[in-house]
Amino acid sequence: MTFFKTRIIYSICIFSIFSCTQKNDLKKHQEIWLKGSESEKLISIEKQFRGFDVTMVETSYRYQELFWAGQNKNWENAIYQLDKIKLTLENGIQRRPKRSNSTKYFLKSVDEFKNELKQKNHNSFNLQFIKLTNSCNNCHSIEKVSFFKVKIPIENHSILK
């Protein structure tokens, strides 16, 4: 048997052992913090999703990935990041409906940007990115958190190339 096949078989065995014990560990972990009636447990789980602040963390990450995808002319990744920004914001609206008016305004910018991205034009991308950045800041103003100033990234911290 080759070294590679031996490693695969060994990995499958370890994974199988781990997955068997993981089910019991998961149940024990749930019993530690997830207490109360089913309704109380759901409320606890809902709290773990938190509010729109978590939505903004992911949106910030995707915003930066979008920028560098465009700078690298990786149009498929740019479209992917825009789609994830949209999904993240839609999920955020579901958790915090009071943010829907300002977020729906912002989502129009995301849709316009996506339409422009189909041209795969670097100059158009940069113009749309500036518009998107301005939409971010406008949305923050509407929500009375204008102290959150979104700026175009200047350093690439992405692990994606």
- pLDDT bucket at 17, cuts 50 / 70 / 90: low
Residues 6+ apart with CB under 8 A from 78: 66, 69, 70, 117, 125
153: in domain = no
- Output the CA angle 127-129-132, nearest 5 degrees: 115
When divided into structural domains, the chain yields a total of 2
81: in domain = yes
For residue 105, report the phi and psi dihedrals to the nearest 5 degrees: -60, -45
**Cα 58 from Cα 120, distance rounded (Å):** 25
57 with 129, same domain: the answer is: yes
For the stretch 93-136, pLDDT in tens is 998 899 988 898 899 999 999 999 999 999 999 999 999 999 99
138: in domain = yes
Portion of the chain with pLDDT greater than 70, in percent: 80
**Boundaries of domain holding 33:** 3-48
**Cα 57 from Cα 153, distance rounded (Å):** 15
